[in-house]
Every structure is written in C-alpha cells, then in structure tokens.
Amino acid sequence: MAVQPPAADRRIVIENVAIATVDAQDTEYARGHVVVLGNTIESVGDGPAPAWLDNVARRINGEGHLLTPGLVNTHHHFYQWITRGLAQDSILFDWLVALYPTWARIDEDLVHAATQGSAAALLKSGCTTASDHHYVFPRGGGDVLGASVAGVQELGLRFTALRGSMDRSKKDGGLPPDHAVEDTDEILAASESAVDKWHDASFGSMLQVAIAPCSPFSVSTELMRQSAELARRKGVRLHTHGSETAEEEEFCKQLFGMGPTDYFESTGWLGEDVWMAHCVHMNDSDIAKFAETGTGVAHCPSSNARLAAGIARVPDMLKAGVPVGLGVDGTASNESGELGTELRNALLINRLHGRPDALTVRQALRLGTMGGARVLGRQREIGSIEAGKLADLALWKVDGVLHSSIADPVAALVLGALPPLAALFVNGNAVVENGRLTTADEDRIALAAARAARDLAARG
C-alpha cells in the first residue's frame, strides 16, 4: 500500500539547525529554521521559526544537525540487489556476460524483494527521489515493472520508473543472450502502456515513468529511434547508458561507424529531455554537444571504479554547463547501494587527476541534490530547500564522535563518514527516524532479499 500524503494544514518545524539550501545562491544558515506545511516547504530562514504558527504537529530541535535537500538518485538497477558480490574482478562487458544468464531468470516476486532492499538502502542514506532503470523482462516472469513500482510505493520513496528494454541479442551482434531480449514492437507497446498506467506529470508526483532502452550494445537502432519518437509523443523523458567504457566506444565505431555521442545524435537522443548514465569516455566535442543540447549525465563514481571503467570528466562537464547528477548504479556493481556515500566518492575520484579544486564539497552536494533534480526534469519541485518546493528533507547528525571536530557541517557530510540520518522526509512524511525505516520492517526486507538471492542462485 502506498504511503499517503500528510494533512494539508499540518505543520512540522525544524529549528536551531544548520541549513544548506542548495538554492541558486547557495544560501546557508548556521542556525536557521524550516517550516513544512502539508507536503511542501512553507518557509526557510535564519533564527527561530515564527512564534505565531498553528497546527504544529511536530517541533524538532536541530541543534548539532545539518539539514539538506533530500538526495536524488539518477541511475540504478533495483533488481540487482539480489545478485551482489558476483563477478568481482571483471570489466563491464565480461561482468555483463557473466550475469545476464542469472538476470534472465528473475520474476516479479524476486524483483519486489530486490526493489525493497535497494529502496531501503537509498532511503537510509538520505535519498528521497530515485530513478530505476529496469530492462530485463523474462518471458513468464510476470509483471516485473509493476512489482518494482509497488515495492517502492510501500516504502514512500519518490520514484521515476524507467521502462527499459533490450532487443539486440548475441545473434544480432549484441551482448545479451537470445532468451533475455524482447521483440521491438512488444517493447514499444509495453513502454507506452507503462506511461499510460503510471506516469503522473503533476506537481508533487510520487511516480513518473521514462522510456529507457538499455544501451547501444543491447538495443537496435530502430528501437532507439522509435523510443525517442514515442517518448516525445507521450511527453516523458528518455534514458540510456552511454560512453561507459572504452570497449563500448570501440563497439559503436565498429557497428555504427561513429562514437556513442554521434550515434545518439543520429538517432534523436540528445536533448533536454534525455539523460545518459556514466559518460566516462567523452571528448571535448561530446561534452560540447551535451552542453548545447542540455543532455544530462548520471555520474556513478563508485560503479565506474568497481568495473574499472575510468573517471568521468565531471569538472569539465560542469564548466561547459552540462546537467550532472549522481547515481548509485545497480548494486551488482556498487554493493553498498547508498547514495549518500557517492557525495564523498564523487569528490575524491574527480581529484585523482591532480586537481584539488576539481570538485568542492558544496559542488558535490549540489550534484547529489539540485543536479539530480535537473537531470530528472524536476528542478522546480525538488533539489533545494526553498518555499513552495516539496518537503523532501534530510536531517544529518553531525555532532557525534565522527564529526564533532569538523566546524563546517557540509564538509562533515561530504568529507567525513556518512553521518547518522536523524530523520528523512519525503513529501512531508518522515520515512526514516534515527536511521531506521518507519514505513516497513527492515528485518523483514532483509530476510526476503536473502531468500530471493538464494532462490535466484538455485535456478541456475
């Protein structure tokens, strides 16, 4: 059952708290307040909250805490929660070949359990909005996308469900096994059906849908073109993997006679309604095309490192004006499943080229909040703490033993260990309190995920 919105006239007050708003001016308050009315932010400012407020259901003393916008995850594969720890020393193509046969045996029950494990990890690390790229639809597996939607709604995470697809198998020169792909016409019909059934474009929507063919090496050119046409006819966004590895770039040149970015351009896949995952191997021309068209990037630093894919040129992208957000990626290539830790990893990895100012702590926080909101097309609703925006808020405890000696609370969040999450609000609802989910039994989720992992492994 989906988590219900709060009463429209109910107020929550958080005060005496350090606030990083991540608004256009990067406004911060050393000791400020936020007032939540229903599911939106009513006010934010310095000092205590106004004394005249009525219908205050809860008043939180934020002494020793940092309040930030909820984090936004721009790329994930929830079903991979039950295939973690496998193919530990492989590059992307070898890793995919090793795991495709297992993934081709998933069903709706397994996906529900995996989704709840993935969503729980995100919520517990400060994430309030997530997109999930699901592209494996085994015949006889049931409604796997519906299982994912239901699993997320039960936990209260704001969600963009990406109806993924693969129609280029080994026999057509792709990587997936023949039994793991779908027919092109079936894909397009199912994608349109998913949009019609679930996509809610209204302000404050808890569920949206985007169309997301998997990758150039698993999808036909015809599917890429028709998916772009379908998405624009339906008014939804587009997502795929792009320029993830050197092997992918070589694959595109051999198959299409051009690199990934030029290929995407030729199929109608550059634009403000498009975002790509990874974008590790991009030259100056690629970055310029993304900037000119407003095409977004989901930066996945931990997964890129796990698969030895390389270091994305995030500082250069930001300088050029490319929209960039953070992504966990699937937990088969980022076993922690946490978005909060990606703030630190993004900063550290992007400094490895010897540029100490490649990313600052506040730029890293912006990537994980407003950057992600822009990539998902929701920057008017989420991503910053401003009056009128949705009440998606993360309250971090930064006065404990691991953080109390760091004077700058944003540095404590980004450079230190991930702080304890005192509270997480999604749509004005507290979905995490003192590091624990409030909407579901964590022990039940853990047991269900473990059973699902064993069940899937036994199907081999």
- Distance separating alpha carbons of residues 371 and 379, to the nearest angstrom: 8
pLDDT, tens digit, 9 for 90 and up, residues 406-416:
999 999 999 99
pLDDT, tens digit, 9 for 90 and up, residues 308-333:
999 999 999 999 999 999 999 999 99
Cα 416 versus chain centre, distance:
22
pLDDT, tens digit, 9 for 90 and up, residues 2-26:
899 999 999 999 999 999 999 999 9
Cα 446 versus chain centre, distance:
21
Phi, psi at 376, each rounded to 5°: -85, 0
What is the structure's pLDDT at 419? 98
Task: Give this prediction's pTM.
Answer: 0.98
Which of 70, 119, 43 shows the shortest CA–CA distance to 395? 70
In order, the DSSP letters of 269-306 are: --STTEEEEE--S--HHHHHHHHHHT-EEEE-HHHHHH
C-alpha distances in angstroms, 358 versus 133, 306, 313, 325, 361?
A: 29, 21, 10, 16, 10
Extract the tokens encoding 140: 């006889």
- The answer to whether 53 and 6 have CB atoms below 8 angstroms apart is no
**CATH of region 11-69+389-437:** 2.30.40.10
Of the candidate CATH numbers 3.20.20.140, 3.40.50.300, 3.30.460.80, 3.90.1280.10, the domain formed by 71-376 belongs to: 3.20.20.140
The Cβ-side half-sphere exposure at 445, using a 13 Å CA radius, reads 21
pLDDT, tens digit, 9 for 90 and up, residues 323-370:
999 999 999 999 999 999 999 999 999 999 899 999 999 999 999 999
In the predicted structure, residue 240 carries a pLDDT above the cut 90: yes
- Distance separating alpha carbons of residues 140 and 20, to the nearest angstrom: 48
Percent with pLDDT over 90 in the chain: 94
Domain boundaries, the chain: 11-69+389-437, 71-376
User: Cα torsion at 86, 87, 92, 98 (round to 10°)?
Assistant: -90
Where residue 170 falls among pLDDT bands split at 50, 70, 90? Answer: confident
Rg (CA), the chain: 21
Where residue 179 falls among pLDDT bands split at 50, 70, 90? Answer: confident
